[in-house]
Amino acid sequence: EAPASVPLAAVELCSKKPPKGTFIQKADAAQEIGLMVRDLRAVDPSFRSQAAAILPRQSGIIIHLAHVRVIVLADRVLAFDPTNPAVEYFLPKLQRRLDAPSHPMPFEFRAIEAVLVEVVSTFNARIGTLIPSLDLVLDTLSTTQDFGGDTVQNCMDRLLPLENALNEFGAKVAQTRAALNEVLVSDEDMSLMYISTFKETGIRRRIDQHDEVEMMLENYMKQIDTVHSEVTSALQAVKATENATQIRLDAMRNRVLRLDIFLNLGAVSVGVGGLVAGVFGMNLLSGIEEDPAAFWIVSGISFLTSIMFFRGILAFLRMRRIFY
Amino acid sequence: EAPASVPLAAVELCSKKPPKGTFIQKADAAQEIGLMVRDLRAVDPSFRSQAAAILPRQSGIIIHLAHVRVIVLADRVLAFDPTNPAVEYFLPKLQRRLDAPSHPMPFEFRAIEAVLVEVVSTFNARIGTLIPSLDLVLDTLSTTQDFGGDTVQNCMDRLLPLENALNEFGAKVAQTRAALNEVLVSDEDMSLMYISTFKETGIRRRIDQHDEVEMMLENYMKQIDTVHSEVTSALQAVKATENATQIRLDAMRNRVLRLDIFLNLGAVSVGVGGLVAGVFGMNLLSGIEEDPAAFWIVSGISFLTSIMFFRGILAFLRMRRIFY
Amino acid sequence: EAPASVPLAAVELCSKKPPKGTFIQKADAAQEIGLMVRDLRAVDPSFRSQAAAILPRQSGIIIHLAHVRVIVLADRVLAFDPTNPAVEYFLPKLQRRLDAPSHPMPFEFRAIEAVLVEVVSTFNARIGTLIPSLDLVLDTLSTTQDFGGDTVQNCMDRLLPLENALNEFGAKVAQTRAALNEVLVSDEDMSLMYISTFKETGIRRRIDQHDEVEMMLENYMKQIDTVHSEVTSALQAVKATENATQIRLDAMRNRVLRLDIFLNLGAVSVGVGGLVAGVFGMNLLSGIEEDPAAFWIVSGISFLTSIMFFRGILAFLRMRRIFY
Amino acid sequence: EAPASVPLAAVELCSKKPPKGTFIQKADAAQEIGLMVRDLRAVDPSFRSQAAAILPRQSGIIIHLAHVRVIVLADRVLAFDPTNPAVEYFLPKLQRRLDAPSHPMPFEFRAIEAVLVEVVSTFNARIGTLIPSLDLVLDTLSTTQDFGGDTVQNCMDRLLPLENALNEFGAKVAQTRAALNEVLVSDEDMSLMYISTFKETGIRRRIDQHDEVEMMLENYMKQIDTVHSEVTSALQAVKATENATQIRLDAMRNRVLRLDIFLNLGAVSVGVGGLVAGVFGMNLLSGIEEDPAAFWIVSGISFLTSIMFFRGILAFLRMRRIFY
Amino acid sequence: EAPASVPLAAVELCSKKPPKGTFIQKADAAQEIGLMVRDLRAVDPSFRSQAAAILPRQSGIIIHLAHVRVIVLADRVLAFDPTNPAVEYFLPKLQRRLDAPSHPMPFEFRAIEAVLVEVVSTFNARIGTLIPSLDLVLDTLSTTQDFGGDTVQNCMDRLLPLENALNEFGAKVAQTRAALNEVLVSDEDMSLMYISTFKETGIRRRIDQHDEVEMMLENYMKQIDTVHSEVTSALQAVKATENATQIRLDAMRNRVLRLDIFLNLGAVSVGVGGLVAGVFGMNLLSGIEEDPAAFWIVSGISFLTSIMFFRGILAFLRMRRIFY
Question: ipTM value of the model?
Answer: 0.85
Which residues have a Cβ under 8 Å from the Cβ of B121 and sit 6 or more positions away? none
Q: Which chains touch D (3 or more CB pairs under 8 A)?
A: C, E
Q: Identify the pLDDT of residue B323.
A: 64
Chain E residues within 8 A of D226 when measuring between CB atoms: 49-51
| Range of weakest confidence among A104-108, A266-270, B87-91 | A104-108
Distance CA A1, CA A37 (A): 10
Residue D324: closest CA among C105, A101, B244, E255: E255
Alpha carbon dihedral A135, A136, A140, A142, in 10-degree steps, equals 0
| Range of weakest confidence among A255-264, B196-205, C76-85, D280-289 | B196-205
Average pLDDT over residues E80-101: 90
State the nearest Cα–Cα gap between D96 and chain E, in angstroms: 13
Higher pLDDT, D204 or C164: C164
Average pLDDT over residues C120-124: 95
The predicted-structure confidence for C157-214, as pLDDT tens digits, reads as follows 899 999 999 999 999 999 999 999 989 888 888 888 888 877 777 777 776 667 788 8
Q: pLDDT category, D269, cuts 50, 70, 90?
A: very high
Chain D residues within 8 A of E278 when measuring between CB atoms: 278
- Are the beta carbons of B163 and A240 separated by less than 8 Å? yes
Q: Do C324 and C287 contact (CB within 8 A), yes or no?
A: no
Residue C22: closest CA among C63, C80, C72, C62: C80
Q: Identify the pLDDT of residue A16.
A: 85
Distance CA B48, CA B63 (A): 15
Is C140 exposed, middle or buried (CB count within 10 Å of its CB: 0-12, 13-18, 19+)?
middle
Q: Which sign does the torsion angle of CA C21, C27, C31, C34 carry?
A: positive
Q: pLDDT category, B113, cuts 50, 70, 90?
A: very high
Nearest CA in chain A to E268: A267
> ∠ CA A160-A163-A168 to the nearest 5 degrees?
125
Q: pLDDT category, D210, cuts 50, 70, 90?
A: confident
Q: Do B122 and B215 contact (CB within 8 A), yes or no?
A: no
How far does chain C reach from its first CA to its final CA, in angstroms? 70
- Are the beta carbons of B260 and A258 separated by less than 8 Å? no
Q: Residue D206: is its pLDDT beyond 90?
A: no
Chain A residues within 8 A of E252 when measuring between CB atoms: 153
Distance CA B244, CA C241 (A): 11
Mean per-residue pLDDT over chain E, rounded? 86
Average pLDDT over residues A61-89: 92
Amino acid at D28: D
Distance CA C302, CA C278 (A): 10
Nearest CA in chain B to A286: B295
The predicted-structure confidence for E128-144, as pLDDT tens digits, reads as follows 999 999 999 999 988 88
Q: Identify the pLDDT of residue D233.
A: 92
- Are the beta carbons of E159 and D274 separated by less than 8 Å? no
Nearest CA in chain C to D304: C275
Distance CA E272, CA E293 (A): 22
Distance CA D99, CA D136 (A): 43
In terms of C-beta distances under 8 Å and separation of at least 24 residues, what long-range contacts does D297-304 make, across chains too?
Answer: D298/C279, D298/C282, D298/C284, D299/C279, D299/C282, D301/D276, D302/C275, D302/C278, D302/C279, D302/D273, D302/D274, D302/D276, D302/D277, D303/C275, D303/C279, D303/D273
Nearest CA in chain D to E186: D185
Q: pLDDT category, B151, cuts 50, 70, 90?
A: confident
State the nearest Cα–Cα gap between B119 and chain A, in angstroms: 19
- Are the beta carbons of A285 and B292 separated by less than 8 Å? yes
- Are the beta carbons of D51 and C229 separated by less than 8 Å? yes
Distance CA C193, CA C187 (A): 10
Q: Which sign does the torsion angle of CA A285, A287, A292, A298 carry?
A: negative
Q: Identify the pLDDT of residue C4.
A: 44
Higher pLDDT, C201 or E246: E246
Chain B residues within 8 A of C288 when measuring between CB atoms: 284
Q: Identify the pLDDT of residue E179.
A: 92
Q: Which sign does the torsion angle of CA E293, E295, E300, E302 carry?
A: positive
E152, E271, E295: residue with CB nearest D282: E295
Q: Which sign does the torsion angle of CA B86, B91, B97, B98 carry?
A: positive
> Which of A49, A207, A238, A260 should be substituted to probe chain E, the one whose Cβ sees the most E Cβ atoms within 10 Å?
A49
Residue B272: closest CA among B297, B299, B309: B309
Average pLDDT over residues A157-163: 92
Task: List the beta bridge partners of residue B13.
Answer: B77
Q: pLDDT category, A166, cuts 50, 70, 90?
A: very high
Q: Which chains touch E (3 or more CB pairs under 8 A)?
A: A, D
Q: Residue B105: is its pLDDT beyond 70?
A: yes
High-pLDDT (> 70) share of chain B, %: 94
- Are the beta carbons of E292 and D285 separated by less than 8 Å? yes
Alpha carbon dihedral E224, E226, E229, E235, in 10-degree steps, equals -80
Q: pLDDT category, B6, cuts 50, 70, 90?
A: confident
- Are the beta carbons of C171 and B233 separated by less than 8 Å? yes
The H-assigned helical ranges of D50-84 are none
pTM for this entry = 0.87
Distance CA C272, CA B274 (A): 12
Q: Residue A218: is its pLDDT beyond 90?
A: no
Q: pLDDT category, D3, cuts 50, 70, 90?
A: very low
A164, A271, A292: residue with CB nearest E271: A271
High-pLDDT (> 90) share of chain C, %: 39
Q: Identify the pLDDT of residue E208.
A: 65
Q: Identify the pLDDT of residue D324.
A: 58
Q: Residue C290: is its pLDDT beyond 50?
A: yes
Q: Identify the pLDDT of residue D41.
A: 81
DSSP letters, A66-135, are TTEEEEEESSEEEEE-TTSHHHHHHHHHHHHHHH-TT-SS-HHHHHHHHHHHHHHHHHHHHHHHHHHHHH
Residue C173: closest CA among B229, B166, B175, D171: B229
- Are the beta carbons of A287 and B282 separated by less than 8 Å? no
Chain D residues within 8 A of C251 when measuring between CB atoms: 147-148, 152-153, 156, 249
Average pLDDT over residues D216-236: 90
3-state secondary structure of E65: strand
Q: Residue E68: is its pLDDT beyond 90?
A: yes
State the nearest Cα–Cα gap between C247 and chain D, in angstroms: 6
The predicted-structure confidence for D15-65, as pLDDT tens digits, reads as follows 888 889 988 887 777 777 777 777 788 888 887 767 888 988 878 899 999
- Are the beta carbons of A251 and B152 separated by less than 8 Å? yes
Average pLDDT over residues B127-147: 90
Task: List the beta bridge partners of residue A64.
Answer: A53, A69
Mean per-residue pLDDT over chain B, rounded? 86
Q: Residue A4: is its pLDDT beyond 70?
A: no
Q: Identify the pLDDT of residue E158.
A: 92
Chain D residues within 8 A of C143 when measuring between CB atoms: 157
Highest mean pLDDT, choosing among A192-196, B105-109, D118-122, E97-101 = D118-122
State the nearest Cα–Cα gap between D232 and chain E, in angstroms: 9
Distance CA A46, CA A39 (A): 14
- Are the beta carbons of E281 and A282 separated by less than 8 Å? no
Average pLDDT over residues B2-8: 62
How far does chain A reach from its first CA to its final CA, in angstroms? 70
> Which of C40, C55, C147 should be substituted to probe chain B, the one whose Cβ sees the most B Cβ atoms within 10 Å?
C147
The H-assigned helical ranges of E193-210 are 195-201
C38, C246, C306: residue with CB nearest B247: C246
The predicted-structure confidence for C8-48, as pLDDT tens digits, reads as follows 899 999 888 888 998 888 778 777 777 777 778 888 888 77
Q: How many pairs of residues across B and C have Cβ atoms under 8 Å apart?
A: 165
Q: pLDDT category, B3, cuts 50, 70, 90?
A: very low
The predicted-structure confidence for E5-16, as pLDDT tens digits, reads as follows 578 899 999 888
- Are the beta carbons of A51 and E247 separated by less than 8 Å? no
Q: Residue E3: is its pLDDT beyond 50?
A: no
DSSP E54: E
Higher pLDDT, B185 or D124: D124
D147, D255, D302: residue with CB nearest C251: D147
B159, B274, B294: residue with CB nearest A244: B159
Nearest CA in chain C to D274: C275
Task: List the beta bridge partners of residue C70.
Answer: C63, C79
Q: Do B261 and C260 contact (CB within 8 A), yes or no?
A: yes
State the nearest Cα–Cα gap between C105 and chain B, in angstroms: 28
Is A300 exposed, middle or buried (CB count within 10 Å of its CB: 0-12, 13-18, 19+)?
exposed
Residue E269: closest CA among D282, D309, A270: A270
The predicted-structure confidence for E135-169, as pLDDT tens digits, reads as follows 999 999 888 877 766 788 889 889 999 999 999 99
Higher pLDDT, D238 or D209: D238
Q: pLDDT category, C87, cuts 50, 70, 90?
A: very high
- Are the beta carbons of A254 and B255 separated by less than 8 Å? no
Q: Identify the pLDDT of residue B324.
A: 58
DSSP B288: -
* C76-80, strands of its sheet edge to edge: C20-24, C8-14, C76-80, C68-73, C60-65, C53-56
Which residues have a Cβ under 8 Å from the Cβ of E302 and sit 6 or more positions away? D275, D278, D279, E273, E274, E276, E277
- Are the beta carbons of D246 and E249 separated by less than 8 Å? no
E42, E263, E302: residue with CB nearest D264: E263
- Are the beta carbons of C247 and D252 separated by less than 8 Å? no
Which residues have a Cβ under 8 Å from the Cβ of E261 and sit 6 or more positions away? A256, A259, A260, A263, E323
Helix B150-184 and helix B107-143, axial crossing angle in degrees, nearest 10: 160
Phi, psi of B82 (to 5 degrees): -70, -15
Q: Identify the pLDDT of residue D251.
A: 87
Higher pLDDT, E77 or E1: E77
Chain D residues within 8 A of E290 when measuring between CB atoms: 285
Which residues have a Cβ under 8 Å from the Cβ of E287 and sit 6 or more positions away? A292, A295
State the nearest Cα–Cα gap between A301 and chain E, in angstroms: 10
Q: Identify the pLDDT of residue D176.
A: 94
Nearest CA in chain B to A118: B1
Q: Do C187 and C208 contact (CB within 8 A), yes or no?
A: yes
Chain A residues within 8 A of E229 when measuring between CB atoms: 51, 171, 175
3-state secondary structure of E45: coil
Task: List the beta bridge partners of residue D61.
Answer: D56, D72
Q: Identify the pLDDT of residue A227.
A: 93
- Are the beta carbons of D148 and C258 separated by less than 8 Å? yes
Q: Which chains touch B (3 or more CB pairs under 8 A)?
A: A, C
Highest mean pLDDT, choosing among A229-233, B277-281, D253-257 = A229-233
Is C144 exposed, middle or buried (CB count within 10 Å of its CB: 0-12, 13-18, 19+)?
middle
Mean per-residue pLDDT over chain D, rounded? 86
Q: pLDDT category, B101, cuts 50, 70, 90?
A: low
Pairing relationship of beta strands B20-24 and C20-24 according to DSSP bridges? unpaired
Q: pLDDT category, B25, cuts 50, 70, 90?
A: confident
Nearest CA in chain A to B188: A211
Distance CA A181, CA D292 (A): 96
Q: How many CA atoms lie within 13 A of C50 on its CB side?
A: 23
Q: How many CA atoms lie within 13 A of E210 on its CB side?
A: 23
Amino acid at A318: R
Chain B residues within 8 A of A271 when measuring between CB atoms: 266-267, 270-271, 274
Q: pLDDT category, D254, cuts 50, 70, 90?
A: confident
Q: Identify the pLDDT of residue B291.
A: 84
C232, C244, C282: residue with CB nearest D298: C282
> Which of D173, D284, D298, D305 should be substituted to probe chain E, the one whose Cβ sees the most E Cβ atoms within 10 Å?
D284
State the nearest Cα–Cα gap between B212 and chain C, in angstroms: 9
State the nearest Cα–Cα gap between B104 and chain C, in angstroms: 10
The predicted-structure confidence for C244-256, as pLDDT tens digits, reads as follows 999 988 888 888 8
